[in-house]
Amino acid sequence: MTVSHILGYPRIGAQRELKKATEAYWQGDCSRQALEATGRELRLRHWRDQQAAGLDLVSVGDFAFYDQVLNVSVLLGAVPERFNAGREVAAGEVELDTAFRMARGRAPSGEPAPACAMTKYFDTNYHYLVPELHAGQRFTLASNRLFDEVDEALGAGFTPKVTLTGPLTWLWLGKSKGSEFDRLTLLDSLLDVYSEVLARLATQGVEWVQLDEPALVQDLPPAWHQAFERAYHRLQAAPLKLMVASYFGGLGDNLSLATRLPVAGLHIDAVRAPQQVDQVIDRLGPHQVLSVGIIDGRNIWRADLAALRERLRPLKVRLGKRLWLAPSCSLLHVPVDLDQESELDASLVGWLAFARQKLDEVVTLARLIDQRATVQDEQRLAAATQALDARRDSTRIHQPAVSRRVAAVTPCDSQRRCVYAERAVAQRRALALPLFPTTTIGSFPQTQDIRAARRAFKAGTLSQADYDAQMRAEIAYAVERQASLGLDVLVHGEAERNDMVEYFGEQLDGFAFTRFGWVQSYGSRCVKPPIIFGDVTRPAAMTVRWSEYAQTLTDKPMKGMLTGPVTILQWSFVRDDQPRETTCRQIALALRDEVADLERAGIRIIQIDEPALREGLPLRQSEWQEYLNWAVECFRLSAAGVDNTTQIHTHMCYSAFNDIIGAIAALDADVITIETSRSDMALLDVFQDFAYPNDIGPGVYDIHTPNIPDVKSMVALMEKALDKLPAERLWVNPDCGLKTRGWAEVEPALANMVEAARQLRARY
Ligand code: GLN
Ligand code: ZN
């Protein structure tokens, strides 16, 4: 019999119950007991779903009130000193509130302290809390939560498989706090605790433990190879079976390392790296189990069960009962349940599968290849085939004009008419901006009134005319404020936008939106990514009327504001029936038309935001260049249709630029604005070293805090920038958009920023 299992399940709840409970707890509106009860309820419900679907094992250890990597840090007692200050941690047990303080800096109890850093988990949009490591650190078993959850599952009659971030990946994700040191020196102490954890799980009656080691799909230094071997040779002494789980890509040059590890089972990603399956089987030990991740855990498309059955047949012949089936990775990265989407049209629903549907897919596939399919399995197989045939031929997806246009793109289309140096002269003449021009990144405060208007409009209680009137009033207000503050390049303020991707997706053909398709981003925060299901076209101009109106209110240049093609792609679920780059080109062409329309409407400066450019980088460096080539081309395709006098801006935030500076320069935007204030302008070094040729607006105002930056601090930051870059190419602007701030903070801050620019002009 083929064992079916999953690597993890979304814990947020189909109705985001966990989000609501944790936020209520933080606000003091829900007791600790009530929060724990919600957690228990959700775990139980999710285990029941897994069992009801027919999985052989249920996943335990994937639940977390905030983050599963943080859970492991807590389990290991890796709690930075500042969170323990003045508190007795009862009998070695780290309290829930301590974990919340690590995550958020504060909790209903305990002293506030600066939160741990948070960053994206591999190439996902899920953020984990970065383990803080220091030389000589000792670990101790410091939480019973995992063991309690195992008892909970056993007590309710489930057969659990425990999942836990593996020791090497946990270290890999950690960062040294203070002076740099070799993280691997901590391995021995770490393994002591992992061994203790495994021994305890064994006494509880756990048979299988899955240790997640996605670090195995990245480029590992030789020392880490040795550490993997050493670690698993030690852990093999545990009196239970270990499965090492790799996902998000192929094992590549770590393949023989992974297959040599002395563990009972290995999980591999057969969706992103189908070619590795045979190679892994060739090297697998005679008793080792291979869990094949065959259902896409990163996307929402319904699986082609018939095709997968054919693919799996020869594997079944080779592996017999050593073949296990699973989704490629934890289902944490997809929404919970498609059955809730009553408003999506039926054909689209037929093409999709969310977490709960993916459980059925895994189980049905296992029974199909075992030749023990039920009537229901046969029905599912037929329904999948039928839906996918319909999808392949659907005229809703395939628009011949779009593919013709993409095919007709030439290198000329992504070239501006002349080089930056000449454009800069033409633009200087056309725009007549002062030295150190001041501008903002696009959004102004999204006030309660604005949100209420959008909600009422969506609900149908506010008419189009009234909504438009209110948005125009908001725009007029933002323009008037900017004009009186003395900014040089104005923006309309983005009052009409809910989200920088959703806003465009809603106006483009080929995009669909779910009602409950939430995916955890960090802690209690969820995102609802659009689904790009078909060829992308732009039925009508998307932003022109707002920008055009805003321009009528001022003689200063009004900056048009667009989200770039790579960012739209990156923050959506993307179709799997054509390469990502093709979808990206389609979006780029739609944006190119928008750029042309803005220019025609008299907009002389157009900003195309690409904050997600860097996060699209593949996990393997060998694949970076290929990605960057098409990503850069797509940006240029969207931007390059304009005259020399039209100035193209781009904006990027939350990223380091050192490894992609060449690509950033290749974007050939006339101006780039970036987040730099918190790095004290250190992020500019790479622009200096690279001799970055175009204009730069290094952020001088950290918009993430309510603090109002003073003139002196902003002048000082610009002085630092001036050490690295010439005055003629510098702009003065905040780090990012201002939508999360209030006007009471924004106005004095911008007044100071404008004053800082004035003082600089007097000096240069
Ligand atoms: N133009 C957007 C804004 O100001 C940019 C947001 C972003 O960079 N994430 O809100
Ligand atoms: Zn930004």
DSSP letters, 410-453, are -GGGGS-SS-HHHHHHHHHHHH-PPSS-B---SB----HHHHHH
Average pLDDT for 303-313: 98
The neighbour count for residue 747, using CB atoms within 10 Å, is 16
Count of Cβ atoms closer than 10 Å to residue 342 Cβ = 8
Counting ligands in written order, the one closest to the CA of 564 is 1
Q: pLDDT tens for residues 372-393?
A: 999 999 999 999 999 999 999 9
In the 8-state DSSP scheme, what is residue 2? -
* pLDDT for the residue 227: 98
Per the annotation, binding residues for 5-methyltetrahydropteroyltri-L-glutamate are 16-19, 120, 525-526, 571, 615
In whole angstroms, what is the distance from residue 45 CA to residue 371 CA? 30
490, 494, 521: residue to mutate for ligand 1 pocket, most atoms within 8 A of CB: 494
pLDDT digits (tens, 9 = 90+) for 531-584: 999 999 999 999 999 999 999 999 999 999 999 999 999 999 999 999 999 999
Average pLDDT over residues 523-532: 96
pLDDT at 93: 64
Give the pair of three-digit tokens for residue 239. 């009196």
Contact criterion met (CB below 8 Å) for 528 and 27: no
Do 531 and 514 meet the contact criterion of CB atoms below 8 Å apart?
yes
Cα-only R_g, the chain = 27
- 411-426: per-residue pLDDT in tens? 999 999 999 999 999 9
User: What 3-state class would DSSP assign to 751?
Assistant: helix
Q: Ligand 1, atom 6: nearest CA belongs to which residue?
A: 737
Q: Are 296 and 271 in contact (CB under 8 A)?
A: yes
Alpha-carbon 434 to chain mean position? 38
- The letter for the amino acid at 173 is L
Q: Is the pLDDT of residue 703 over 70?
A: yes
Ligand nearest to the CA of 740: 1
The rounded percent of the chain whose pLDDT value lies above 90 is: 95
pLDDT at 85: 57
Ligand 1 binding residues, C-beta < 6 A: 441-443, 494, 500, 561, 609, 611, 651, 653, 736-737, 739
Output the pLDDT for position 91: 46
> What residues have CB less than 8 Å from 382, skipping those under 6 apart?
none
Residue 443 CA to residue 493 CA, distance in Å, equals 4
- The DSSP bridge partners found for residue 668 are none
Say if residue 89's pLDDT is above 60: no
Residues 525, 125: contact at Cβ < 8 Å? Answer: no
Model confidence at 149: pLDDT above 90: yes
DSSP per-residue letters across 151-199? HHHHHTT--EEEEEE-HHHHHHH-EESSS---GGGGHHHHHHHHHHHHH
pLDDT of residue 691: 96
391, 351 contact by CB (below 8 A): yes
| Closest ligand 1 atom to Cα of 611 | 8
The DSSP string of 257-302 is: HHHHS--SEEEEETTT-TTHHHHHHHH--TT-EEEEEEE-SSS-BP
Q: Is 680 exposed, middle or buried (0-12, 13-18, 19+ CB in 10 A)?
A: exposed
Query: Cα separation of 156 and 48, whole Å?
Result: 10
* Spatial contact of 607 and 561, defined as CB atoms under 8 Å apart: yes
pLDDT tens for 239-252 read 999 999 999 999 99
Residue pair 619/572 in contact by the 8 Å Cβ criterion: no
Atom 10 in ligand 1: which residue has the minimum CA distance?
737
Contact assessment for residue 560 and residue 606, using Cβ atoms and an 8 Å cutoff: yes
List the structure tokens of 163.
Answer: 């999942």
Nearest CA to ligand 1 atom 3: 737
DSSP state of 728: G
Please list, in sequence order, all residues whose beta carbon lies within 8 angstroms of the beta carbon of residue 705, skipping any fewer than 6 positions away.
Answer: none
**What is the predicted pLDDT for the residue at 90?**
52
The C-alpha atoms of residue 210 and residue 242 are separated, in whole angstroms, by 6
pLDDT recorded at residue 92 = 53
Which residue minimizes the CA distance to atom 9 of ligand 1?
Answer: 611
Phi, psi of 227 (to 5 degrees): -65, -40
Tokens at residue 755, please? 């004053």
Give me ligand 2 centre to Cα 615, in Å.
13
Cα of 302 vs centre of ligand 2, distance in Å, is 34
Residues flagged as binding site for L-homocysteine: 441-443, 494, 609
Q: How far is CA 183 from CA 11, 118, 175, 196, 223, in A?
A: 31, 18, 8, 21, 11
Residue range 624-641: mean pLDDT, rounded: 98
pLDDT reading at 86 higher than 70: no
**Cβ(524)–Cβ(18) under 8 Å?**
yes
**Residue 209: CA count within 13 A, CB half-sphere:** 30
- The Å distance, Cα 612 to ligand 1 centre, comes to 11
The burial of 687, by beta-carbon neighbours within 10 Å (0-12 exposed, 13-18 middle, 19 or more buried), is given as buried
Residue with CA at minimum distance from ligand 1 atom 4: 737
Cα angle for residues 297, 390, 359 (degrees, 5° grid): 25
**Could you write out the DSSP letters of every residue in 83-97?**
GTTT---GGGPPPHH
Q: What is the dihedral of CA 532, 576, 354, 166, to 10 degrees?
A: -120
Q: What is the identity of the amino acid at 645?
A: T
pTM of the model: 0.96
User: What is the residue-averaged pLDDT of the chain?
Assistant: 96
Judge if ipTM > 0.95: yes
CA–CA distance, 617 with 625 (Å, rounded to integer)? 9
Q: Cα of 683 to ligand 1 centre, how many Å?
A: 19
Confidence of residue 629 (pLDDT cuts 50, 70, 90): very high
Residues with a catalytic annotation lie at 704
Give the residue among 731, 700, 751 at the shortest CA–CA distance from 485: 751
Contact 159, 56 (CB under 8 A): yes
Is the pLDDT score of 276 beyond 60?
yes
Ligand closest in space to the Cα of 737: 1
Query: What residue type is assigned to position 283 of the chain?
Result: R
Å from CA of 501 to ligand 2 middle: 13
User: What are the residues whose beta carbons fall under 8 Å from the beta carbon of 331, sequence distance 6 or more?
Assistant: 6, 7, 8, 9, 10, 297, 355, 358
Q: How many residues does this entry show for the chain?
A: 764
Ligand 1 atom, smallest distance to 737 CA: 4
